Amino acid sequence: MPFLAWAAAFLLVPAGALLIGAFRTQDGEFTTEFFKDIFKGSSLDAYVKSVEISLITALLGGALGFLIAYAALSPGAPRLLRPAFLTFSGVAANFGGVPLAFAFISTLGTVGMATRALDAMGLNPYDHGFTLFGFWGLVVTYLYFQIPLMIIIIAPAIDGLKAEWREAASNLGATSTQYWRYVGVPVLLPSILGSMVLLFGGSFAAYATAYALTSGHIGLVPLKIGELINGNVLSDPHQAYALAFGMVIVIAVAMAIYFVLDRRASRWRRSVQ
Amino acid sequence: MTRSGWFWVAVGLLYFLLPLAATAEFSFKDGDSYSFAAYREIFDDPQFRDTFFLSLKLAIVTIIVALLLFIPTVYWVHLRLPQFRPLVQFLCALPFVVPPIVLIVGILYVYNYQWVPGKYLGSPYYLVPGYVVLGFPFMFFALDNAFRAIDVHTLTEASQSLGAGWTRTLWKVILPNILTGALAGAFLTFALVMGEFTMASLALFNTFPTYINYIGQTKANPAAALTIISFGITWLALLGILFVGRRPGRTAVQVGGGAR
Amino acid sequence: MAYLELEKLHKEFGDFTAIEEIDVSIQAGEFLSLLGPSGCGKTTALRIVAGFERPTSGRVVVEGKDLTNVPPNHRDMGMVFQAYSLFPNMTAEANVEFGLRVRGQSGAERRKRVEDLLELVGLSAAAKRYPHQLSGGMQQRVALARALAIEPRVLLLDEPLSALDAKVRVQLREEIRRLQTQLGITTLYVTHDQEEALSVSDRVAVLSQGQIEQIGAPAEIYNAPGTPFVAEFIGTMNRLEATVAEEGQVQVNGMVLAVTDARGLPRGERVLVLIRPEILDLQRADGAASSALVGEVVAHIFLGAITRVKVDAGEHELSADLPGHRAAELPVGSQVAASFPADGGRVLALSEQPEGPAERAPAGQ
């Protein structure tokens, strides 16, 4: 199949080659130097920062996205909300990169619309240590695609919550809290966890938004890789391969965590036979 | 709906609309008044036209390659080789999790000066293979859904029992029935390529997204105008899917990470 | 005093009136079915009793206490839903236990009760299985055990068998009735299947367009339908439009038929004569009585022990259920005369709106 050839040539081979590249010098000799380097100094800081921002935006985006999706898509909501939110989310989740950074500069930049409005109320965020071009600014910006991404991914799971479960629980004497604790959350948990892992991956991989927003100055792993590849002739590209390989490891670990959690949360989905 | 429900809906709408409103306002701002000056400046810039049409061409080539690659693959997976499904599905989900930056670094590493004939290395079409890979999830799941909705076996057998060969069956019977899925995949791929910055920037090509970034470093108002234009392109692509599919947000495959 | 009372229930959803008026009393330990076509308001009525819907007006009273404004989780009513109501993340056991757990019962007590109930519905062996590992019939048994576990004041069943295979359906409905009798629990059962309602209930309320058409014991409903709607809905019925003639006689197509039920009706009144297929008899036309309806056999429908013979009798199409050997004597195309004993037909006055409530109670009650 030509498809398999294509996937091998442009997905598996490049990704696999990084494994080799990460352990080689420019002259082709084997070395663990670059790989060891990613656990040190600024490289390690970059991983920590990348993971932090990805975790925070995955958790926040996941929680907000779920609450919004549940409000807009549950059977009690007005009919029109559903297609409106799913379409909006489709657009917003696909809208990212450089334009997204500019959109937030217009909104929460030093003279952005929201900044001016808050300033008028005496709450200028820049007086309280906030800057759009730092860590939390990035978090707020990433949420613009994380929330809608969550809405879209979690929608089928919310649709799968049957009205009968809620009614049966209530009929058997459960309060709303008890319903969520014993039924709603356990049933949704695998989907929520899975979605959050995807959100994590989305943030972790993001390059363009952070690049445009901070002019490459915030030390995230993708930006560091970009710096090493992009024109910085003095540096060794094999350092970039090691960093990229490290990203693959982080993603693999995230996926592994997800599979373990999902298995535990969904015994009831597996067949026993 | 409960009061807290309305609250979350309002939060969602505000988060979605406020940055757009702010950007739109900024793009029309001309000193103390409003005008189309920023847009005019963009449209008059020959670089805008060059990069925009380059990205357009890249998108079209990517879509054609992806369709040629996937229609037969998904057809065969449904018809003859269901045992290959897990493998194909896995490969197509991979670009969801492998960061584009890793992909482009890998591609640059493997397909460098020693391997690639010079004329391709300098050509922006160098990006197409990577874009096709980034579009894997879109194309595969869109087509997979479309094929699932029709009875491939019966259609194929009916067509062949009436005397049609393979090509004719695929072209005249299968294709019209999966057109919706193919178009959905095409629109998503279109949005992806029109917004893809990471790979283009690292491979040092001047596409539409890198042009937006370049303008952003120098001119604020035109950058806002470009942001609105770029947003409009995403809208058009998504509306295109709605228009051909009439099934809003049915699947989770409408999103990827390409543009970020 | 009645145990469960639905007092003048009325329910509107926006412009749509789901329940015009339902007013019914149910005795302690009684099994009452609400029977009717879809959209007749039966499920809405049940959901009002469970507390999932508020009536626009009217009250739900149990043991003299008004429950209309009590939230569902404080009503102590056990409900069995159509399907898929088991919590998918819990085993059969945990599902049954759920109501006891949220009531804060102690562990040991709970386990004993769960064991007993699973045994009662014959599913002790499946205690540790998850719903998706159980057949549809088994799932409904677990749902029944779950509803009974909380010792509900009233057991509510909302078409619990509609998603099951025909065979399981019959088996399970008998079991529901057996359990209900054994436990003596007051039960409200909603179904659109008349055979189901007639076979398990103490009384059946036939609903149409948000109103009770007739309420009574199954035999009463079947043998003496009170309104044209009930007659049509319950079983198969031959309908003859007729005019009252002499005392105890009606005229159909210019022929006079003796019907005991027509006694006492004013001459010339338009009526509907209803005859069950099993009451109707067919003879070859040459030897027939003069008052009989005449027509041509158009079809035979084999129904096992009997054969339903369809007759085209001009304005009317008649159905007669005959034993196989008798039907064989009347092949398709033969001319036949239909007759029935004078006391075998019911007569209903034709009201202006044939679907509305009867203007006259059925005779012979």
Of A269, A266, A165, A166, residue with least CA distance to C133? A269
- Comparing CB atoms, the residue among C83, C89, C146 nearest residue A268 is C89
Contacts of A209 in chain B (CB under 8 A): 260
- Rounded CA separation C302/C289 (Å): 27
CA–CA dist C134, A17 (Å, integer): 49
Amino acid at B216: G
Candidates B23, B198, B252; nearest CB to A106 = B23
A177-197: average pLDDT: 90
Query: For chain B, which residues make up each domain, given as ranges?
Result: 40-254
Say yes or no to pLDDT of C359 above 60. Answer: no
Average pLDDT estimate for A3-26: 85
CATH of domain C237-349: 2.40.50.100
Q: What is the pLDDT of residues C244-298, one digit of tens each?
A: 888 888 888 778 888 888 888 888 888 888 888 988 888 887 655 555 688 889 9
Q: What are phi and psi of C188, to 5 degrees?
A: -115, 125
Q: Which residue has the tokens 């057809």?
A: B75
pTM of structure: 0.80
Strand order in the sheet with C335-339: C281-284, C335-339, C293-302, C306-313, C316-323
Which residue does chain B place closest to A208, by CA atoms? B260
Nearest to B249 among A67, A92, A152 (CB): A152
Size of chain B, expressed as the number of residues it contains:
260
Q: What is the pLDDT of residue C263?
A: 84
Handedness of CA A236, A237, A240, A244 (dihedral sign): negative
Closest residue in A to B94 (Cα) is A11
What whole-number distance in Å separates Cα of residue B251 and Cα of residue A162? 19
**Tally of helices (H runs) and strands (E runs) in chain C:** 9, 20
**What's the pLDDT tens digit per position in B135-182?**
998 899 889 888 888 888 888 888 888 888 888 888 888 888 888 889
The pLDDT of residue B35: 86
Contact A94 B254 (CB under 8 A): yes
Distance CA C319, CA A107 (A): 78
What are the chain A neighbours of C99 within 8 Å (beta carbons)? 172-174
C50, A167: Cβ pair inside 8 Å? yes
- Beta-bridge partners for C222: none
Q: What percent of chain B has pLDDT over 70?
A: 90
- For the beta sheet containing C31-35, the strands, ordered from the edge strand earlier in sequence to the opposite edge, are C65-66, C57-62, C4-13, C16-26, C211-216, C203-208, C31-35, C186-191, C154-158, C77-80
Placement of tokens 């015009």 in the chain: C20
Distance from CA of A164 to the nearest CA of C (A): 5
All residues of chain C having their beta carbon less than 8 Å from the beta carbon of residue A175 are: 73, 102
Which chains does B contact via 3+ CB–CB distances below 8 A?
Answer: A
CA–chain centroid gap for A4, Å, is: 28
Chain C positions in Cβ-Cβ contact with residue A182 (cut-off 8 Å):
87, 90, 98, 101-102
Of the candidates C73, C130, C132, the beta carbon closest to that of A173 is on: C73
Range scoring the smallest mean pLDDT among A32-36, A167-171, B33-37: A32-36
pLDDT band at B117 (very low <50, low <70, confident <90, very high): low
Please say if the pLDDT value at position B256 is more than 80.
Answer: no
Domain ranges of chain C: 4-223, 237-349
- B107 min Cα distance to partner chain A (Å): 5
The pLDDT score that the predictor gives to residue B228 is 92
Query: C162: Cβ–Cβ under 8 A, 6 or more apart, which residues?
Result: C82, C83, C191, C192, C193
Judge: A164–C81 Cβ closer than 8 Å, yes or no: yes
Of C83, C85, C99, the CB nearest to A173: C99
Domains (range + CATH), chain A: 42-269 (1.10.3720.10)
> For residue A109, with 0-12 CB atoms within 10 Å meaning exposed, 13-18 middle and 19 or more buried, which class applies?
buried
pLDDT tens for each residue of B3-25: 888 888 888 888 889 999 999 98
Q: Which residues contact B185 (CB under 8 A, 6 or more apart)?
A: B66, B67, B70, B135, B138, B139, B140, B142, B143
- Contact between C61 and A163 (Cβ < 8 Å): no
Q: Would you identify the CATH topology of the domain B40-254? A: MetI-like fold (1.10.3720)
A18 min Cα distance to partner chain B (Å): 6
C88 contacts on A by Cβ (under 8 Å): 165, 187, 268-269
Contact A187 C89 (CB under 8 A): yes
Inspect the interface and report whether the beta carbons of A173 and C102 lie closer than 8 Å. Answer: yes
Supply the pLDDT for residue A43.
86
Could you tell me how many residues make up chain C? 365
Per-residue confidence at C21, pLDDT binned at 50, 70, 90? very high
A28 part of contact set with chain B, CB < 8 Å:
no
- Rounded Cα–Cα distance for residues C219 and C216 (Å): 8
Top CATH class, C4-223: alpha beta
**What span, in angstroms and rounded, lies between the C-alpha atoms of C333 and C296?**
6
